[in-house]
Structure 1
Amino acid sequence: MKTATKRHWVLISLHCFLVGSLVDSSSPSSRLLSVTSRVGNRAVLPCSWKQRLQSTPSTCHVQWATPADTVFEMNGEDRWEAEEFQGRVEVSEEKLWSGNCSLIISDVQFEDSGRYESFMVVDGGTATKTTKTKIFIQSVKLSVFDHKSLQSRGPGEDLVLDLYTRHSVRVVFQDRNSSAWSVLWSREDEDGERLQRHPVNEQLTMRKLKSSDEGIYKVLDQHGLAVSTVQLSVEESSIALKRQQLLEKQTATGLPADAVKSSCSALLLFSALITSFQTVHLL
């Protein structure tokens, strides 16, 4: 009898725990939000303190932190940023008073990936003693990805490589017939006859493409990670244009690369058949 009673109470306790967990996870502020960004872009980590505070605080004191350290803190005109985020993080002071405490990260880097938590620091304590209380607002997971593209150009045309971020330091190249990588450009390099860096934008232009320029281009950051990967095909202008249109369609529809290559091959075969038919007809 005692064993049955004990088992009954265990089941009740387990039920209460599960119900409490479901109620807690249903709260908007308790859910872990997910945000994705491409390296070099801007990411917005959402936050709304009105869901957690019952009244408007006398001062809007917001803090963002990772599990390891504080990232950003703002209390009126006083602001603080972690060294690795210097000049790249902000919370809109104008929107903060209306409840929006979202953190804006500019020029996102791979090492920015991870979990962030936001807090509002409010006055607490008693009438004779004032203390500061930190109230948890929101958890956000940031994931950062690289850029990938397939491009096609005709001989003599230019290729514009986006560097995406000031932290891109090198471009390497792999010829279509080789497995070796060679350094094509470094940030300290001066402009050459064919490679020129844009004076303002993070872009690198390769002039007057040749068939030997066909291959894979990787833009690397200071840690050797690929900011972007570009697979380039150099073909006759009319074919290159049609191929580029197919590649853009692949990017938009998510078709596999093999399907695009088959479409390009079919297009070339069809063009050859039409040319042969016209030649026979003229004879």
Structure 2
Amino acid sequence: METKSARAWAMLQLLLRLSAHTASLVSPAAPGSAPDPAPDPAVVSSLVGADVLLPCPCPALSRPSVPHVQWCLDSAGPVLEQRGQQRWTAQELSERAELPQAGRGDCSLRLRDLQVSDGGQYQSFLISEAKRGLFLCSVKLLVFDHSSVQFRRRGEDLILDLHTAHATSLAFQGSNSSEWRPLWWRGGTASPRVLKEPLKEQLRLTSVSDSDQGVYKVLDQNGLTVSSTRLSLDQDEATAVRFTHPDRLLLRAAAVRSSCCTLLLLLLLLFILTSSRLVL
């Protein structure tokens, strides 16, 4: 009995320590307290083709001057460097990256027309006159492709959004097939039934039939998925299960926020079960 009691007491102490640690992760630091030497990066998530802002405050400079800011991506090295009106961006972010508030106490990075390859962990630095970098912040960017289910009747047209001007091809996998068949690429087409809308980033598959049921994938120039669309014919749309990436984004964000709480609840359940055995 003493051994079980000691074990239960140790479990309670561990639970209390974890609870305190979790609170410290979500509670703001007290004024004047020492900063965390290794803070967790902020997490930002979005969809292909959208615009996003990677938040980053810029400290006040000792003397008035134009900040010299550098952003780096772990997998690619420096991707943007800006000082006043002078700006350099890596080729993969050409004309898509900027610091809209630089010089106003804000070094946030804005990325336009997001691509899957833009995902990763970003770090920003303030470059001094001695060419030394002062670490500012770290942001983890998650970029998700679009997913949807579309329901059509035989003879109707299927509209597929490309979502970005960087989308270059469309592939199709039939419901009863394991092979992917190219249907369209930018500047050409493999199927006369696939038409590019002249004023929109959309494709139109004309007069769908049973053989058109399956999954349609829009791909970018790197072969990465921009969107996945499942086509179903003559099904009850009201009772069908739908899924979209905005829903999945909310679920994933909730999962990230609740990861510590989940561990805490599991330990609490274990403690309650152990305590009930002691009572019995």
Task: Give the direction of change, closer, same or farther, for the CA distance of 1:192–1:217 in structure 2 (3 Å limit).
Answer: closer
TM superposition shift of 1:132: 4.6
Task: Give the direction of change, closer, same or farther, for the CA distance of 1:115–1:217 in structure 2 (3 Å limit).
Answer: same
TM superposition shift of 1:78: 0.8
Separation (CA, whole Å) in 2 of partners of 1:142 and 1:220:
20
Equivalent residue for 2:43, pick from 34, 51, 55:
34
In the alignment, structure 1 residue 91 sits paired with structure 2 residue 99: yes
Unmatched segments (≥5 aa) in structure 1: 1-17, 124-130, 255-283
Residue type matched to 1:96 in 2? A
In the alignment, structure 1 residue 48 sits paired with structure 2 residue 57: yes
In the alignment, structure 1 residue 119 sits paired with structure 2 residue 128: no
Partner of 2:182: 183
In the alignment, structure 1 residue 160 sits paired with structure 2 residue 152: no
In the alignment, structure 1 residue 78 sits paired with structure 2 residue 77: no
Separation (CA, whole Å) in 2 of partners of 1:172 and 1:138:
39
Partner of 1:196: 195
* Secondary structure at the counterpart of residue 188 of structure 2: coil
Which is higher, the Rg of structure 1 or of structure 2? 1
TM-score by length of 2: 0.67
Separation (CA, whole Å) in 2 of partners of 1:204 and 1:57:
52
Separation (CA, whole Å) in 1 of partners of 2:35 and 2:226:
36
Task: Give the direction of change, closer, same or farther, for the CA distance of 1:42–1:213 in structure 2 (3 Å limit).
Answer: same
Task: Give the direction of change, closer, same or farther, for the CA distance of 1:132–1:193 in structure 2 (3 Å limit).
Answer: closer
Separation (CA, whole Å) in 2 of partners of 1:202 and 1:248:
27
Residue type matched to 2:204 in 1? T
Task: Give the direction of change, closer, same or farther, for the CA distance of 1:139–1:107 in structure 2 (3 Å limit).
Answer: same
Unmatched segments (≥5 aa) in structure 2: 1-20, 22-28, 249-280
* Secondary structure at the counterpart of residue 96 of structure 1: coil
* Secondary structure at the counterpart of residue 92 of structure 2: helix
Higher helix share: 1
TM superposition shift of 1:41: 2.1
Separation (CA, whole Å) in 2 of partners of 1:44 and 1:167:
20
Residue type matched to 2:54 in 1? L
Separation (CA, whole Å) in 2 of partners of 1:174 and 1:189:
19
Root-mean-square deviation (Å): 2.9
Contact preservation (8 Å) 2:51, 2:110: yes
Contact preservation (8 Å) 1:220, 1:227: yes
Contact preservation (8 Å) 1:170, 1:220: yes
* Secondary structure at the counterpart of residue 117 of structure 2: helix
Contact preservation (8 Å) 1:57, 1:122: no
Separation (CA, whole Å) in 2 of partners of 1:90 and 1:160:
33
Query: What percentage of aligned pairs have identical amino acids?
Result: 40
Q: Between Structure 1 and Structure 2, how many residues are aligned?
A: 216
Q: Which moved more, 1:144-153 or 1:55-64?
A: 55-64
Contact preservation (8 Å) 2:183, 2:190: no
Separation (CA, whole Å) in 2 of partners of 1:70 and 1:158:
45
In the alignment, structure 1 residue 147 sits paired with structure 2 residue 146: yes
Partner of 2:232: 233
